[in-house]
């Protein structure tokens, strides 16, 4: 079933979560171990992130440097198929522009279609460590809106390959939104205009970047509605877990902590204190969002489901 169908059928806010493929070399069991504790809350869909390859340079005996491609977390498509098979729950693979030519994107979508996966979250992806800014594949997409257009095209039967007859796909397309603005955007106004362009190109719902201040989400939803974005906007929440997260999350995801949270974080002496606060804050945020009638609350597990479980227990 499509994410939008789940949202339409829901009588109260749904529970969903995102997982990361395991580090290369780990078994699929590590994924199941992360999902099993959350199944009691009846997620209608589970997102699986996509991690593109990075490049490293290794010095050879002759002194020359060899460029080597490594993918630390491969397997998004296979993991989605395994989740659907084991849990009979819909899986939402993330598909990114970075590292993909348009032809490779088309092939990836054909593979997903064959596997019966009809949901996809379409993203641009970030720059890799060796790039200062995002650089698309020479024959790829620069922005998520172009990827969404390509998916919409094959949904209407328009493929790049014209030598074989392929049936139209029926992907439900999600896209990303940023209540605190995407870090590269000139301002909130342009960011919202580009978000609207993604919806106009075929995105049927939005999942937000994590935020810790619900007011930012509510303001974002209002601003979206004002410019004519009518699709469901799913809030994304991440529980803070460690002392390191206190600086890492704002730095990496370009988000702020509200004063009430930073005041409490300053009192934390160890990871245990942060984890307890993270659960309490997550519960409070979730309660308010649920009362406001959001369509679904989406949790970023970041390979750790115990905190999400502790929050979900109080909410779903």
Residue 138 to residues 3, 39, 56, 141, 148: CA-CA distances in angstroms? 32, 41, 20, 8, 18
User: Which structure tokens are listed for 237?
Assistant: 């929440």
Contact (Cβ atoms closer than 8 angstroms) between residue 214 and residue 285: yes
> Beta strand 14-19 with 119-123: parallel, antiparallel or unpaired?
unpaired
| Residues of the shown chain interacting with ligand FAD in the complex, contacts defined by CB under 6 A | 49-50, 94, 96, 123-126, 143-145, 176, 182, 184-185, 190-191, 194, 198, 207, 209, 236
Smallest gap from Cβ 112 to ligand FAD, in A, equals 14
Smallest gap from Cβ 261 to ligand FAD, in A, equals 20
The three-state secondary structure class of 14 is strand
Task: Please say which residue, 143 or 218, places its beta carbon nearer to ligand FAD.
Answer: 143
Smallest gap from Cβ 52 to ligand FAD, in A, equals 6
Token pair 């969404």 in the structure block, residue = 148
Contact (Cβ atoms closer than 8 angstroms) between residue 199 and residue 168: no
Task: Please say which residue, 220 or 257, places its beta carbon nearer to ligand FAD.
Answer: 220
Smallest gap from Cβ 17 to ligand FAD, in A, equals 12
Smallest gap from Cβ 311 to ligand FAD, in A, equals 18
C-alpha to C-alpha distance for 92 and 256, rounded to whole angstroms: 28
User: Which structure tokens are listed for 187?
Assistant: 């301002």
Task: Please say which residue, 145 or 261, places its beta carbon nearer to ligand FAD.
Answer: 145
Task: Please say which residue, 101 or 271, places its beta carbon nearer to ligand FAD.
Answer: 101
Task: Please say which residue, 136 or 258, places its beta carbon nearer to ligand FAD.
Answer: 136
């Amino acid at each position: 079933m499509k994410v939008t169908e789940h949202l339409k059928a829901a009588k109260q806010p749904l529970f969903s979560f995102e997982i990361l493929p395991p580090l290369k070399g780990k078994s699929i069991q590590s994924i199941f171990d992360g999902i099993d504790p959350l199944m009691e809350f009846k997620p209608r869909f589970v997102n699986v992130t996509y991690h593109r390859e990075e490049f490293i340079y290794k010095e050879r005996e002759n002194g020359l440097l060899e460029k080597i491609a490594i993918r630390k977390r491969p397997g998004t498509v296979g993991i989605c198929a395994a989740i659907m098979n084991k849990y009979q729950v819909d899986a939402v693979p993330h598909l990114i522009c970075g590292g993909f030519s348009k032809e490779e994107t088309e092939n990836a979508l054909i593979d997903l279609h064959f596997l019966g996966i009809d949901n996809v979250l379409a993203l641009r992806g970030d720059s890799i460590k060796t790039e200062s800014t995002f650089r698309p594949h020479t024959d790829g997409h620069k922005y998520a809106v172009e990827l969404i257009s390509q998916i919409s095209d094959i949904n209407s039967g328009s493929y790049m390959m014209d030598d074989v007859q392929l049936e139209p796909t029926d992907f439900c397309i999600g896209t990303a939104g940023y209540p605190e603005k995407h870090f590269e955007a000139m301002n909130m106004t342009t960011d919202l205009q580009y978000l609207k362009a993604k919806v106009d190109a075929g995105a049927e719902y939005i999942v937000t970047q994590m935020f810790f201040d619900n007011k930012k989400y509510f303001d974002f939803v209002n601003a979206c509605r004002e410019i004519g974005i009518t699709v469901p906007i799913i809030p994304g929440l991440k529980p803070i877990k460690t002392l390191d997260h206190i600086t890492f999350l704002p730095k990496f995801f370009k988000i702020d902590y509200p004063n009430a949270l930073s005041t409490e974080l300053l009192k934390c002496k160890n990871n245990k204190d942060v984890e307890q606060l993270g659960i309490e804050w997550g519960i409070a945020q979730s309660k308010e969002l649920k009362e406001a009638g959001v369509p679904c609350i989406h949790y970023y597990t970041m390979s750790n489901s115990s905190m999400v479980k502790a929050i979900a227990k109080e909410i779903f």
